[in-house]
Amino acid sequence: MRERLSPQENRRAWRYAALIVVCLVACVALAWHFTAHPTQTVFLPPTKEAVLDAAQGLDSITIDAVFDPESKQLTATQVMALRNPSGQALDHVTLRSYSGAYLSEATSPVANDELFAASYGQQFSTGGLILDSAMVNGERVQHTWEDDAKTVLTLPAKWAADGEITVTLTYHVNIPDCGSRFGVQEGIFALGNVFPTLAVWQDGAWRTEGYVSIGDPFLTECANWTVRLTLPQGYTVASTGYAEPVRVADANVYTLQAQAVRDFALVISDQFATSAAMADDVLVVAHARDKAVAQRMVKFARQALACYETHYGYYVYPTLTLAEVSFPYGGMEYPRMVMIGAEVIAAQRDALEITVAHEVAHQWWYAMVGSDSYHLAWQDESLCEYALMDYIGRYYGASTRANTAFDRIETAMRITIPRGVTPGSPIDYFQDLTEYSQVVYRRGAALWMALENLMGKDQLDAALQQYVQDFRFGLATRPQLTQLLSQAAGQDLTALMEDYLDTYISN
**Residues of this chain that bind Zn ion (CB under 5 A):** 381, 384
Q: Which amino acid is at 418?
A: P
Q: Indicate the Cα dihedral angle 140, 141, 142, 145, nearest 10°.
A: -120
Q: Which amino acid is at 117?
A: A
**Alpha carbon distance 58, 32 (integer Å):** 45
Residue 314 · residue 39 · CB < 8 Å: no
Shortest Cβ distance from residue 216 to Zn ion (Å)? 8
- Cβ atoms within 10 Å of 61's Cβ, excluding its own: 24
Shortest Cβ distance from residue 465 to Zn ion (Å)? 21
Shortest Cβ distance from residue 408 to Zn ion (Å)? 13
Residue 294 · residue 286 · CB < 8 Å: yes
| Nearer to Zn ion (CB atom), residue 103 or residue 475 | 475
Helix, strand or coil for residue 221?
coil
| Nearer to Zn ion (CB atom), residue 260 or residue 384 | 384
| Nearer to Zn ion (CB atom), residue 131 or residue 384 | 384
Cα-only R_g, the chain:
25
Shortest Cβ distance from residue 470 to Zn ion (Å)? 22
**Alpha carbon distance 221, 84 (integer Å):** 13
| Nearer to Zn ion (CB atom), residue 76 or residue 384 | 384
**Alpha carbon distance 17, 346 (integer Å):** 53
**Alpha carbon distance 310, 468 (integer Å):** 13
**Alpha carbon distance 465, 17 (integer Å):** 61
Shortest Cβ distance from residue 371 to Zn ion (Å)? 12
Shortest Cβ distance from residue 181 to Zn ion (Å)? 12
Helix, strand or coil for residue 208?
coil
Shortest Cβ distance from residue 329 to Zn ion (Å)? 9
| Nearer to Zn ion (CB atom), residue 107 or residue 363 | 363
**Alpha carbon distance 66, 171 (integer Å):** 11
| Nearer to Zn ion (CB atom), residue 103 or residue 384 | 384
Shortest Cβ distance from residue 490 to Zn ion (Å)? 31
| Nearer to Zn ion (CB atom), residue 381 or residue 390 | 381
- In angstroms, the Cα distances linking 74 to 4, 94, 98, 211 are 74, 23, 15, 21
- In angstroms, the Cα distances linking 363 to 41, 42, 235, 385, 457 are 25, 22, 26, 13, 21
| Nearer to Zn ion (CB atom), residue 65 or residue 190 | 190
| Nearer to Zn ion (CB atom), residue 114 or residue 499 | 114
| Nearer to Zn ion (CB atom), residue 198 or residue 384 | 384
Shortest Cβ distance from residue 381 to Zn ion (Å)? 5
Shortest Cβ distance from residue 358 to Zn ion (Å)? 6
Shortest Cβ distance from residue 99 to Zn ion (Å)? 21
**Alpha carbon distance 30, 434 (integer Å):** 51
**Alpha carbon distance 384, 444 (integer Å):** 10
- In angstroms, the Cα distances linking 355 to 78, 276, 309, 344, 347 are 33, 19, 18, 8, 11
Q: Which amino acid is at 402?
A: A
| Nearer to Zn ion (CB atom), residue 288 or residue 384 | 384
Rounded to an integer, what is the distance from CA 400 to the centroid of its chain? 28
